[in-house]
Amino acid sequence: MLKGKAFKFGDNISTDDITPGRFFHLRSNLPELAKHLLEDVAPSFTSRVEPGDFIVAGVNFGLGSSREHAAVVIKMAGVAAVLAKSAARIFFRNAINVGLPVLICDTDKISDGDELEVDLAGGMVKNLTSGVVLPLGRFPDVMLRILDEGGLIPYIKKHGDFSLQSR
Amino acid sequence: MGKTLAEKILSEKSGSDAHAGDIVIAKVDLAFLQDGTGPLALRQLQASELERIATPAKVIIFLDHASPSPSRELANDHILLRDFTRKSGVQLCDVGEGICHQLIAESYANPGEVVIGADSHTVTAGALGAFATGMGSTDVAIAIALGKTWLRVPESFKIVVRGSFKRGVYAKDLALHIIGKIGADGATYRALEFCGENIENMGMSERFTLANMAVEAGAKAGLFSSDETTRRYLESHARSDLFRSIRPDPDAEYEQIIEIDVSSLEPMVSKPHAVDNIAPAKELKGEKIQQVFIGTCTNGRLEDLATAAAILKGRKRHPATRLLIAPASKEVLTQAIGAGYIQTFLEAGGTVLPPGCGPCVGVHQGVLGDGEACLSTANRNFRGRMGNPEAFIYLGSPATAAASAIAGEITDPRELM
């Protein structure tokens, strides 16, 4: 069970918004890169977000470049999960690979600052502020298994290979 | 049941009867990294304790995004990547060779192959009939180690293109039109499959432009059947033996069929800060432009430079508008010198940049100032993309870019043709 505060963003938050290209030279210095997370969209985000909080966005979160650093620095900021109406496919895959859940739900029912409780196993998010309960979209099984192991690297270290047998 | 191009290729590479929605493990024919995503991939490869390379000849590292390096940090990343290629036997395309997607097209990808790259515009190779898709550093690292990856077989949109382009209208305008029509997330997780008489008559350069921009509609791949045009392209790049004909089955199932008649299409421009925010170029007349950039994996090929040079020949850029040109590869630059295009650009007041990504990603070679506007032939105009969140990026064809450089404002290229 994950519990934290919602930080609300709009539609089409790109990987250039998350990790701007002008910080390209910091990609091998992730703690420095993380200081600039989402700074062009929400300049105070990194100073306000606390471990366990959630990024809550509209459609097509993470569109654009394949830079996995975007998912990595969101995780480094302590964000427990990204909740969005939809996510761009490369970002979605990257996030799961680094152990950051991206959860699809009707985020119109969540406001900035709402307290949320996410039940990953039960597939729902409860808005503790409004009392509304939202169902979460289903993951492909292979992604759930990667996420369960904490990401693709721990998954491969444990299994040595991809495995499509069901759990 | 018949198969789409995506279903055909992924069935073959997974050794299964794959249909849209299935999860498959597919053999990867070609995996690549670039200098922005490579260092993280190598660190993940090390962390995976699987530091083996399944097939080193089919793994390539490109130094193209920060090329030549503009900073100490990036120069050190380049050292890391070069050292890895020396130790592992993985192929290196160093500074000055060109953009990964252009080099993949010129020298590496073939019809029917699975190509994955740690760069979203990996989709470009779909123009050759390869299933090519972008992934992140970790996915590509694991594919390098294992020689395979997992993929969800995508549903496909069939894009049927009819009619001929009017003078001054190109595949770039069609790409912007399609993205404007279906939206920046209109094809998320889907493959776009291009066909129809316009596509059959289209040269490889413009097919690469269309495939390249598939990801701007969210697509996982932008696919073309391979045909005589593909065969000739491979032949001209010394690998005619790797041509094979690949086409979808006539009874393949598509999630959507989108029919487009291009005969009334006009030069289009994508406005800040979203690729699907499009308008005809003529409606933006009067929008002042401080920088024009012609290049990138979308429009940095010889045909693109030829189009721009034909408009710029004997003319000068507007004094308030900088004109930057970055050929997509060394081969393109060499041929452009031979054809006289580079001379034309210099005489028009242009600045010629080394083959590579140039200012597209905001790293170097033309970062915009506060409040400045750029008309670029690239594929993305997100806020901050070119290194400054206070700048504005418009996207258009090489013809629109050349005309706008002369006028100093967004200009329908037909005014100068």
Domain boundaries, chain A: 2-137
Specify whether B378 is located in the same domain as B274. Answer: yes
CATH of the domain at B293: 3.30.499.10
How far apart are the C-alpha atoms of B15 and B13, rounded to whole Å? Answer: 6
Which amino acid makes up residue A120?
A: L
Contact A121, B162 (CB under 8 A): no
Q: Which domain holds residue B173?
A: 5-261
Which residues in chain B have their CB less than 8 angstroms from residue A68's CB?
A: 37, 40, 118, 136-138
Q: Choose one of B243, B261, B279: the last residue of a domain.
A: B261
DSSP β-bridge partners for residue B393: B374
Q: Which of these, B285, B127, B139, lies nearest to B203 by C-alpha position? A: B127
**A114 interfacial to chain B (CB closer than 8 Å):** no
A20:B384 CB<8 A? yes
Residue A167 has pLDDT above 50, yes or no: no
**B50 interfacial to chain A (CB closer than 8 Å):** yes
Question: Sheet containing A81-84: which strands, arranged edge to edge?
Answer: A102-104, A81-84, A54-57, A2-8, A115-119, A124-127, A133-135
**Least Cα separation, residue A19 to chain B (angstroms):** 10
Specify whether B22 is located in the same domain as B155. Answer: yes
- Portion 75-134 of B in contact with A at CB < 8 A: 76-77, 80, 117-120, 122, 134
Give CA torsion, residues B133, B136, B138, B143, to 10 deg: 10
How far apart are the C-alpha atoms of A151 and A161, rounded to whole Å? Answer: 13
pLDDT at residue B1 in the model: 84
**A144 interfacial to chain B (CB closer than 8 Å):** no
Which phi-psi region, left, alpha or beta, contains residue B89 (left: φ > 0; alpha: ψ -120 to 50)?
left
pLDDT at residue A164 in the model: 64
Q: Choose one of B261, B277, B295: the last residue of a domain.
A: B261
Q: Choose one of B241, B261, B281: the last residue of a domain.
A: B261
Specify whether B232 is located in the same domain as B277. Answer: no
**CA angle in degrees (0–180, nearest 5) for B122-A62-B194:** 40
Give the chain B residue whose CA is nearest to the CA of A20. Answer: B384
Q: Which of these, B363, B65, B369, B78, lies nearest to A23 by C-alpha position? A: B363
Q: What's the rounded mean pLDDT across residues A121-146?
A: 94
Which amino acid makes up residue B116?
A: I
| DSSP symbol at B119 | S
Which residues in chain A have their CB less than 8 angstroms from residue B363's CB?
A: 21-22, 24-25
Residue B144 burial by Cβ neighbours in a 10 Å radius (0-12, 13-18, 19+) = buried
Specify whether B75 is located in the same domain as B178. Answer: yes
Q: Which of these, B28, B383, B379, lies nearest to B214 by C-alpha position? A: B379
Q: What's the rounded mean pLDDT across residues A147-162?
A: 93
Specify whether B116 is located in the same domain as B242. Answer: yes
pLDDT at residue A163 in the model: 75
Specify whether B281 is located in the same domain as B201. Answer: no
Question: Sheet containing B156-162: which strands, arranged edge to edge?
Answer: B221-224, B191-195, B156-162, B256-261
Which amino acid makes up residue B141?
A: A
**A25 interfacial to chain B (CB closer than 8 Å):** yes
DSSP β-bridge partners for residue A6: A54
Count up the domains in chain B and report the number.
Answer: 2
| DSSP symbol at A79 | -
Specify whether B193 is located in the same domain as B119. Answer: yes
Q: What are phi and psi of A28, to 5 degrees?
A: -100, 10
Give the chain B residue whose CA is nearest to the CA of A159. Answer: B48
C-alpha to C-alpha distances, B164 to B197, B202, B211, nearest whole angstrom: 9, 10, 19
Which of B138, B152, B216, B297 is most worth mutating to test chain A (most A CB atoms within 10 A of its CB)?
Answer: B138
Q: What's the rounded mean pLDDT across residues A118-143?
A: 94
Q: B178: Cβ–Cβ under 8 A, 6 or more apart, which residues? A: B159, B192, B213, B217, B258, B260
Q: Read off the pTM.
A: 0.97
**B388 interfacial to chain A (CB closer than 8 Å):** yes
Q: What's the rounded mean pLDDT across residues A116-128?
A: 96
Q: Which residues of chain B have pLDDT under 50?
A: none
B48:A14 CB<8 A? no
A2-137: CATH topology is Aconitase; domain 4 (3.20.19)
Specify whether B397 is located in the same domain as B293. Answer: yes
Specify whether B117 is located in the same domain as B225. Answer: yes
DSSP β-bridge partners for residue B352: B325
pLDDT at residue B57 in the model: 79
pLDDT at residue B324 in the model: 98
pLDDT at residue A166 in the model: 45
Burial state string for A30-66 with b = 16 or more CB within 10 A and e = fewer than 16: beebbbbbbbbbbeebbeebeeebbbbbbbbbbbbbb
ipTM of the complex: 0.96
Specify whether B155 is located in the same domain as B247. Answer: yes
Residue A139 has pLDDT above 90, yes or no: no
Specify whether B218 is located in the same domain as B353. Answer: no
B25:A164 CB<8 A? yes
Which of B45, B119, B133, B137 is most worth mutating to test chain A (most A CB atoms within 10 A of its CB)?
Answer: B137
Cα end-to-end distance, chain A, whole Å: 21
Specify whether B275 is located in the same domain as B241. Answer: no
Q: What are phi and psi of B191, to 5 degrees?
A: -100, 140
Q: Which of A27, A71, A86 shows the shortest C-beta gap to B39? A: A27
Q: How many other β-carbons are positioned within 10 Å of the β-carbon of residue B103?
A: 23
